[in-house]
């Protein structure tokens, strides 16, 4: 077979890109739904908005089977150790979407027991604003995350070892 | 099936070995808890000997926030309390505040609030019923229920701009008047909804698997229901004929013809049936209300000093501007007496009330919410004792626990 | 009211927008509620809550306990209040009258630190067990004292 014929029948790519392409189209979300945003998360999975169009309809409640954690709703003092434990139980590579104002910054709940943004304590890849965000916004976040995985994903997860990812994003520390 | 824990927990096994109980952790992150709550189950084989609920995984200090926000600002926070039926919370909060301030709302406002309350009841029951089906394995039932809920979301979006977390009411009125477009959408909804209810009923009402899982599980007798402070569908499924809409009429409920839905059995199936029947009664109320909305203003007049004037008036007249300024400045605003008031509505889950203490400032000194979920979840160990592990999700589904309301 | 007065001593009655409130001495709350439940048909305990009157104008006592009662047959509502003070705010629990009071009293203990004597299981219910203060007291700030930042931080490398 001539080389010219071969080029019509195979596609060449880098292994990293191939792996990232596979990963991005089979995200299995772990719905860490605590509050109001969880209802929009359910609506995203339900009939009208149908997140299955983007390959991430397989909601698994076991962290061992998931690679995308969607934190929907506020996280409070009693819940944060649970969140961290579940995050640690998820296998690599894994990503995290912080859905809604409460998960990202604490939102309206600037009170004694609400954690002011989960990114102080676990790494977050994508923030979705809104209180609660519409299902379309969540789907957009999933699409953006897919683009991010395609752009910088590597087969052995080297992108997670970059120094800027080792720090929490919020430098501000309250006294 | 023996129903008391001591009977089988202390029974010696056949080969003379000491009986022992398994301890199992259920939650806080579990698909059947819907949101976040934790149960420590003591299991004897597959039988639940005891259940120790552990809550507080979503305690966000709602009542503390209520002491630092003024009466109109706090309504956004009450939305997040029971986010399945936010407008019921809005109405309950502002009814308590209006009672404290001595304001009577206009007839049109009263009708509009009644309509949104009933729409929220439909929405809440749909989610509860759908999730109840989902928990015991009927996914299609959940999809049917969500198709109805999406219609309610659309109506709410046309009415106040948000899918949920509406923040619809204000002291002495509502945020926006109901428009002919919304009335048309609600009429369409009234035509669409009986089909959905019919589908849901056909799917599960007589379904052998579903009935076998729900009937006889989690029985609460009438005396226990009253003794354990249960209200709403929970108590009505046990034979208590108390419904605040009839017993202590508020808003425009005396104008409408509807029935209280009760059952005698007090088990999960009875709670399912009561909620199903209430869907139909709520549709009847909405159908009567939507055709008879009185004309007139939806908000009370500016002389009562509690409702913001319309924007056009603020921008073009000095009186409007002054009254707007007087209301929104932090050290002015509405005056309340140094008194305490409690007002309650029949929310989809039961009696939802607010106990408001005023101290003369435009903020509540104390904003206590009486949450139905909290009281109902306290009965859970009693309901589940003696049943099997798989009944845990059935009973949880039938209680309709909303964690944000449970923990506040 | 006269029966109540005979049972528990001094009782002050007030009326506000159609709601009747009675104030009973803290030591006799249990007796008063028992009388109301057994003899006067107030068989449904709607709520047990508390108000901290630390900064309240003209307040003499620190904590005001509030019991909301309903008679399911008569459809009457009654608010029973009682005042307790630091340093040892204690009242007798009413769990033996209403099972439903169990969690409501636990919540009042959790939020205000009022002890209920005779309560079967007086633990914190909403806050973590290691929490040391009572958050709904007026001398505790809304933003807390930094407890919410007191957790380990997970980074990408560690997880």
Q: What is the CATH number of the domain that holds C61?
A: 3.30.460.80
Q: How far is B129 from chain A (nearest CA, A)?
A: 15
Peptide bond into B339 cis (omega under 30): no
Spell out the residues 6+ positions from residue A6 whose beta carbon is closer than 8 angstroms to its own.
Answer: none
Q: pLDDT value at position C157?
A: 67
Instruction: Note down the domain range covering C12.
Output: 2-158
* Model ipTM value: 0.89
Share of chain B above pLDDT 90, in %: 4
Give the DSSP letter string of B87-118: HHHHHHHHHHHHHHHT----HHHHHHHHHHHH
**Number of domains observed in the structure of chain B:** 2
Contacts of A102 in chain C (CB under 8 A): none
Q: What is the mean pLDDT of residues C48-68?
A: 86
State pLDDT tens for residues B235-293: 888 888 888 888 888 888 888 888 888 888 888 888 888 999 999 999 999 999 888 88
- Pair (B307, B356) in one structural domain: yes
- Give A-chain residues touching C154 at CB under 8 angstroms: 84, 87-88, 121-123
pLDDT in tens, A22-79: 888 888 888 888 888 888 888 887 777 888 888 887 788 888 888 888 888 888 888 8
Q: What is the pLDDT of residue A171?
A: 44
Q: How many angstroms separate the CA atoms of B186 and B188, rounded? A: 5
Count the domains in chain C: 1
- Supply the DSSP string of B167-229, one letter for each residue: --EETTEESSPPPHHHHHHHHHHHHHHHHHHHHHIIIIIT-HHHHHHHTTSS---HHHHHHTT
**Which has the closest alpha carbon to C35: C7, C72, C11, C12?**
C7
> Do residues B57 and A34 make contact, with C-beta atoms less than 8 angstroms apart?
yes
- Please provide the average confidence, as pLDDT, over all residues in chain A: 81
- Cross-chain Cβ contact C154/A88 below 8 Å: yes
Least confident range from A57-71, B14-28, B34-48, B277-291: namely B14-28
Pair C126, C105: CB distance under 8 Å: no
Q: Is the pLDDT of residue A121 over 50?
A: yes
Q: Which residue has the higher pLDDT, A163 or B188?
A: B188
Residue that is last in its domain, among B54, B75, B90: B54
Which chain A positions have a beta carbon within 8 Å of B123's beta carbon? Answer: none
Q: Which domain holds residue B164?
A: 62-405
Region of B17 please: left (phi>0), alpha (psi -120 to 50) or beta.
beta
Q: Residues B35, B68: one domain?
A: no
Q: Looking at the predicted structure, is the pLDDT value of residue B3 above 60?
A: no
Query: Which residues on C lie below 8 Å from A122 (Cβ)?
Result: 154, 159
- Best of B53, B340, B344, B374 to mutate (most C CBs within 10 Å, chain C): B340
Indicate the angle between helix axes B180-200 and B139-160, nearest 10 degrees. 170
SS3 state of residue B14: coil
Does residue C24 surpass a pLDDT of 50?
A: yes
Binary contact (B229, C101; C-beta < 8 A): yes
Q: What is the pLDDT of residues B304-362, one digit of tens each?
A: 667 777 777 788 888 888 877 877 776 666 677 888 889 888 888 888 889 998 888 88
Helix and strand element counts for chain B (H, E): 18, 8
Backbone torsions φ then ψ of B52, nearest 5 degrees: -115, 105
Nearest CA in chain B to C129: B56
> Which of B37, B54, B71 is the last residue in one of the domains?
B54
Q: What is the mean pLDDT of residues B367-394?
A: 87
Interchain contact, B60 vs A74, CB within 8 Å: yes
Are residues C148 and A114, on separate chains, in Cβ contact within 8 Å?
yes
How far is C-alpha B6 from the geometric centre of its chain's CA atoms? 35
Sign of CA dihedral A33, A35, A39, A41: negative
CB B362 within 8 A of CB B16: no
Residue C43 CA neighbour count, 13 Å, CB half: 16
Is there a single domain that holds both residue B156 and residue B22? no
Do B10 and B155 lie in one domain? The reply is no
Establish whether the linkage from the previous residue to A93 is cis, with ω within 30° of 0. Answer: yes
Residues B42 and B161 in one domain: no
Pairing of strands A68-72, A29-33: parallel
Tell me whether residues C47 and B56 touch, CB distance under 8 A: no
* Whether residue B106 sits in one domain with residue B11: no
Residues whose CB is less than 8 angstroms from the CB of residue B143 and which lie 6 or more positions away in sequence, other chains included: A46, A47, B130
The alpha carbon dihedral of B24, B28, B33, B37 has a sign of positive
Whether residue B140 is found in the same domain as residue B31: no
Q: Quick check: B9 pLDDT over 60?
A: no
**CB-based burial of residue C138 (10 Å sphere; 0-12 exposed, 13-18 middle, 19+ buried)?**
middle
Partners of A109 on chain B (C-beta within 8 Å) are: 60-61, 65
Mean pLDDT of B357-372: 86
User: Are residue B334 and residue B186 in the same domain, yes or no?
Assistant: yes
Instruction: Please indicate whether, in this complex, the C-beta atoms of C151 and A80 are within 8 angstroms of each other.
Output: yes
pTM of the model: 0.87
- Rounded to 10 degrees, the C-alpha dihedral C83/C89/C94/C96 comes to -160
CB spacing of C156 vs A87 below 8 angstroms: no
Question: Phi and psi (nearest 5°) for B281?
Answer: -65, -40
For residues C131-145, average pLDDT: 84
Identify the helix (H) or strand (E) that includes residue B49.
Answer: strand B47-54
Do residues B17 and B133 share a domain? no
In the prediction, which pLDDT does B15 show? 52
Q: Smallest Cα–Cα separation from B37: which of A41, C28, A57, A76?
A: A76
CA distance A45 to A148: 22
């Amino acid at each position: 077979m001539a080389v010219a014929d071969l080029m019509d029948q195979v596609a060449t790519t880098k292994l990293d890109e191939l792996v990232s392409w596979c990963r991005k189209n089979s995200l299995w979300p772990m719905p860490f739904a605590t509050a109001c945003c969880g209802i929009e998360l359910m609506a995203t999975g339900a009939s009208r908005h149908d997140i299955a169009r983007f390959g991430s309809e397989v909601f698994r409640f076991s962290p061992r089977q998931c690679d995308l954690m969607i934190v929907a709703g506020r996280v409070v003092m009693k819940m944060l150790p649970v969140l961290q434990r579940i995050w640690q139980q998820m296998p690599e590579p894994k990503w995290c979407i912080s859905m809604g104002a409460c998960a990202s910054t604490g939102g309206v709940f600037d009170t004694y027991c609400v954690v002011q943004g989960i990114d102080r304590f676990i790494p977050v890849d994508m923030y979705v604003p809104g209180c609660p965000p519409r299902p379309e916004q969540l789907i957009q976040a999933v699409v953006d995350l897919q683009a991010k995985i395609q752009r910088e994903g590597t087969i052995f997860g080297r992108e997670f070892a970059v120094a800027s990812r080792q720090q929490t994003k919020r430098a501000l520390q309250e006294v | 099936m023996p129903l008391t824990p001591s009977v089988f927990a202390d029974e010696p096994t056949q080969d003379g070995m000491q009986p022992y109980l398994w301890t199992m952790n259920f939650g806080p992150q579990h698909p059947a808890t819907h949101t976040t709550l934790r149960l420590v189950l003591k299991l004897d084989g597959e039988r639940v000997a005891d259940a120790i609920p552990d809550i507080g995984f979503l305690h966000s200090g709602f009542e503390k926030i209520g002491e630092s926000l003024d009466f109109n600002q706090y309504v956004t926070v009450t939305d997040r309390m029971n986010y399945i039926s936010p407008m019921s919370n809005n109405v309950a909060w502002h009814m308590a505040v209006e009672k404290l301030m001595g304001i009577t709302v206009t007839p049109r406002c009263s009708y509009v609030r009644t309509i949104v309350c009933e729409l929220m009841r439909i929405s809440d029951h749909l989610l509860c019923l759908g999730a109840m089906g989902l928990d015991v394995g009927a996914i299609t039932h959940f999809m049917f229920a969500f198709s109805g809920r999406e219609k309610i979301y659309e109506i709410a979006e046309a009415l106040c701009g948000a899918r949920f977390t509406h923040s619809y009411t204000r002291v002495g009125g509502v945020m926006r008047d109901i428009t002919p477009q919304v009335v048309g959408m609600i009429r369409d909804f009234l035509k669409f909804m009986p089909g959905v209810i019919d589908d849901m009923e056909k799917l599960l009402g007589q379904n052998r698997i579903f009935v076998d899982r729900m009937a006889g599980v989690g029985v609460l007798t009438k005396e226990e229901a009253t003794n354990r402070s249960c209200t709403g569908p929970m108590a009505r499924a046990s034979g208590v004929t108390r419904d605040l809409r009839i017993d202590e009429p508020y808003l425009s409920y005396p104008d409408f013809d509807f029935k209280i839905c009760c059952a005698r059995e007090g088990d999960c199936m009875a709670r399912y049936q009561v909620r199903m029947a209430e869907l139909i009664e709520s549709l009847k109320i909405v159908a009567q209300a939507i055709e008879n909305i009185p004309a007139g203003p939806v908000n009370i007049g500016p002389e009562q000093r509690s409702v913001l004037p319309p924007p056009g008036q603020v921008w073009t007249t000095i009186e409007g501007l002054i009254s707007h300024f007087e209301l929104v400045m932090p050290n002015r605003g509405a005056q309340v007496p140094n008194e305490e008031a409690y007002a309650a509505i029949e929310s989809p889950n039961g009696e939802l009330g607010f106990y408001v203490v005023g101290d003369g400032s435009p903020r509540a000194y104390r904003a206590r919410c009486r949450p139905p979920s909290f009281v109902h979840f306290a009965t859970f160990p009693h309901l589940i004792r003696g049943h099997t592990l798989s009944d845990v999700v059935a009973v949880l589904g039938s209680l309709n626990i909303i964690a944000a309301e449970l923990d506040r | 009211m006269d029966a109540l007065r005979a049972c528990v001593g001094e009782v002050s009655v007030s009326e506000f927008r159609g709601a009747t409130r009675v104030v009973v001495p803290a030591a006799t709350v249990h007796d008063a509620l028992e009388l109301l439940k057994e003899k006067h048909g107030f068989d449904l305990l709607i709520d047990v809550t508390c108000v901290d009157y630390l900064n309240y104008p003209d307040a003499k006592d620190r904590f005001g306990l509030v019991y909301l009662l309903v008679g399911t047959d008569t459809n009457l509502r009654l608010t029973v209040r009682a005042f307790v003070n630091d340093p040892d705010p204690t009242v007798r629990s009413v769990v033996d009258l209403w099972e439903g009071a169990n969690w409501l009293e636990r919540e009042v203990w959790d939020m205000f630190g009022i002890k209920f004597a005779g309560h079967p299981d007086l633990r914190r219910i909403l806050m973590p067990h290691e929490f040391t203060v009572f958050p709904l007291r007026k001398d505790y700030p809304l933003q807390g004292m930094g407890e919410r930042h007191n957790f380990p931080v997970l980074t990408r490398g560690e997880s």
